[in-house]
């Protein structure tokens, strides 16, 4: 069944609770329906945007064209000895998939517990948390190309994964509606417990180490640090952690004692939160937008904010960090739509 709405209200469909309307919203429950919609949009010249749970987007006032929500909800697994291929529809809630896999003894996703959003959005920014990135558990995906409505199979190389990045996030490249993602998981549990927060939480929980326990520890740490969008609208981390040159890292370390730098290529990845905090932004607000008091990477809608308010506030933070530390901050969420003309 395909559901189509005109002038659809999207305020409850994005975790920042930004007011926005879509000219057309299509909720598709089958791959063929998505192909049909893509063909129709091609014929009519309508731009297509895909929306999952709206947990990594900044929506402007209006999304012209057609917004497609792939409500595809199957999950099945193929076991090949140690290996397990898990195929999941794009509309499956990510955390449900993580729980399903842990319950059946398919290991590898436990550190990614409680990340909001859908399976179909996971490859877009190669979701990651607590030492694991989706890329390392990815096998391939199926997607409908918006160019010709054909179903394509994309392997890892075609997806161009990077840190919170993929080919799907880069404008100007081929555009796709992802309909299914296949993960390669293992029957053997190999714990990843490098993160001090997770290690400490595991010690507190006690008992034997298991995937369920790692997920529990991750969930507890996340609940402590991040605001729940149902109560405080937000889109998780608003900025990516920047990579700086070795020389800049040394200069910054002199000003910010104890600054950590993960070696990445020739440079170091540093904490954007630390830079924002050092500029005094934690807890600050302007109108309806603010910086979460516990985690300066998270911007929150305190009530009444529009997409453009969030973006202006984010720009003020990025400008300040740029002026003081010479480091460029990049947005993590995608910005969709356009604003009403002023006046
Ligand atoms: C409290 C909180 C904590 C978070 N923590 C993390 C974290 O630890 N790690 C992390 O990586 N992210 C995190 N995020 C960000 C977010 O959860 C992920 O990016 C998630 O994958 C977004 O899923 P979604 O379904 O909500 O996507 P949406 O926000 O709906 O869409 C995001 C982008 O993906 C595109 N898209 C969505 N579905 C498809 C599809 N099927 N085909 C093609 N394009 C698609 C959209 O067009 C948009 O550009 C957090 C967000 C919140 C609110």
Mean pLDDT per block of 10 residues along the chain (343 residues) reads 88 98 96 96 94 98 96 98 98 98 98 98 97 97 96 97 93 81 98 94 95 98 95 97 96 94 92 96 94 95 97 98 97 94 67
For a mutational test of ligand 1's pocket, the pick from 47, 73, 236, 310, i.e. the residue with the most ligand atoms closer than 8 A to its C-beta, is 236
Structure tokens at 27: 């909720």
Distances (CA, A) of 56 to 43, 207, 233, 235: 29, 35, 12, 5
Q: What is the DSSP letter of 74?
A: -
For the CA of 179, the closest atom of ligand 1 is 41
For a mutational test of ligand 1's pocket, the pick from 93, 115, 331, i.e. the residue with the most ligand atoms closer than 8 A to its C-beta, is 115
241 close to ligand 1 (CB < 6 Angstrom): no
pLDDT at 12 (0 to 100): 97
Pairing of the two strands 289-291 and 285-286: antiparallel
Phi/psi for 291 (5° steps) reads -100, 130
236 close to ligand 1 (CB < 6 Angstrom): yes
For the CA of 118, the closest atom of ligand 1 is 25
Q: Which long-range contacts (CB under 8 A, 24 or more apart) does 145-149 make?
A: 145/38, 145/174, 145/175, 145/176, 146/38, 146/41, 146/42, 146/48, 146/174, 146/175, 146/176, 146/177, 147/174, 147/175, 148/42, 149/35, 149/36, 149/38, 149/39, 149/42
Which residue's CA is minimally distant from atom 43 of ligand 1? 177
Q: Which residues are catalytic?
A: 164, 237, 332
116 close to ligand 1 (CB < 6 Angstrom): yes
How far is 270 from 263, CA to CA, in rounded Å? 9
The percent helix, strand, coil of the chain (3-state, each to 5) is: 30, 30, 40
57 close to ligand 1 (CB < 6 Angstrom): yes
Pairing of the two strands 21-28 and 62-63: parallel
Distance 44 CA to ligand 1 centre (A): 28
Distance 121 CA to ligand 1 centre (A): 5
Is residue 167 within 8 A of residue 175, CB to CB? The reply is: no
For residue 119, give the nearest of 84, 75, 149 by alpha carbon: 75
112 close to ligand 1 (CB < 6 Angstrom): no
Distance 52 CA to ligand 1 centre (A): 7
25 close to ligand 1 (CB < 6 Angstrom): no
Is residue 50 within 8 A of residue 25, CB to CB? The reply is: no
Distance 248 CA to ligand 1 centre (A): 31
Phi/psi for 316 (5° steps) reads -60, -40
How far is 244 from 68, CA to CA, in rounded Å? 37
Structure tokens at 225: 């640090």
Which residue's CA is minimally distant from atom 17 of ligand 1? 116
Radius of gyration of the chain (CA): 21
31 close to ligand 1 (CB < 6 Angstrom): no
Note the Cα 113 to chain centre separation in Å. Answer: 13
pLDDT at 3 (0 to 100): 78
pLDDT at 185 (0 to 100): 98
Which residue's CA is minimally distant from atom 51 of ligand 1? 236
pLDDT at 100 (0 to 100): 98
- Give, for 40, the enclosing helix (H) or strand (E): helix 31-44
pLDDT at 2 (0 to 100): 78
Distance 240 CA to ligand 1 centre (A): 14
275 close to ligand 1 (CB < 6 Angstrom): no
154 close to ligand 1 (CB < 6 Angstrom): no
Please count the other Cβ atoms lying within 10 Å of the Cβ belonging to residue 178: 26
Q: Cα dihedral sign for 284, 290, 294, 295?
A: negative
């Amino acid at each position: 069944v395909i559901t189509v709405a005109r002038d659809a209200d999207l305020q409850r469909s994005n975790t920042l609770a930004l007011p926005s309307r879509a000219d057309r919203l299509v909720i598709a429950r089958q791959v063929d329906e998505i192909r049909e919609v893509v063909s129709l949009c091609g014929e009519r010249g309508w731009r297509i945007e895909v929306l999952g749970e709206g947990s990594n987007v900044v929506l402007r006032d209006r999304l012209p064209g057609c917004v497609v929500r792939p409500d595809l909800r199957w999950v099945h697994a193929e076991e090949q000895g140690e290996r397990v291929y898990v195929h999941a529809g794009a509309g499956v809630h990510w955390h449900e998939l993580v729980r399903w896999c842990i319950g059946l003894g398919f290991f590898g996703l436990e550190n990614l517990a409680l990340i909001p959003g859908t399976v179909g959005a996971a490859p877009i920014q190669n979701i990651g948390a607590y030492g694991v990135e989706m890329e390392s558990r990815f096998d391939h995906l199926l997607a409908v190309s918006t160019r010709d409505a054909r179903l394509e199979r994309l392997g890892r190389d075609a997806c161009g994964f990077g840190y919170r990045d993929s080919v799907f996030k880069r404008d100007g490249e081929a555009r796709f509606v992802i309909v299914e993602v296949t993960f390669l998981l293992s029957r053997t549990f190999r714990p990843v417990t490098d993160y001090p927060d997770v290690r400490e939480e595991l010690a507190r929980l006690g008992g034997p180490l298991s995937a369920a326990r790692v997920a529990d520890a991750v969930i507890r740490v996340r609940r402590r640090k991040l605001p729940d969008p149902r109560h405080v609208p937000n889109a998780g981390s608003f900025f990516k952690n920047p990579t700086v040159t070795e020389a800049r890292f040394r200069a910054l370390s002199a000003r910010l004692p104890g600054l950590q730098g993960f070696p990445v290529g020739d440079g170091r990845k540093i904490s954007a939160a630390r830079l924002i905090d050092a500029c005094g932004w934690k807890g600050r607000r302007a109108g309806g937008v603010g910086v979460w008091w516990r985690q300066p990477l998270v911007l929150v809608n305190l009530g009444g904010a529009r997409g453009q308010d969030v973006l202006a506030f984010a720009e003020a933070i990025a400008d300040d960090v740029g002026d003081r530390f010479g480091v460029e901050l990049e947005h993590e969420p995608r910005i969709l739509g356009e604003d009403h003309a002023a006046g």
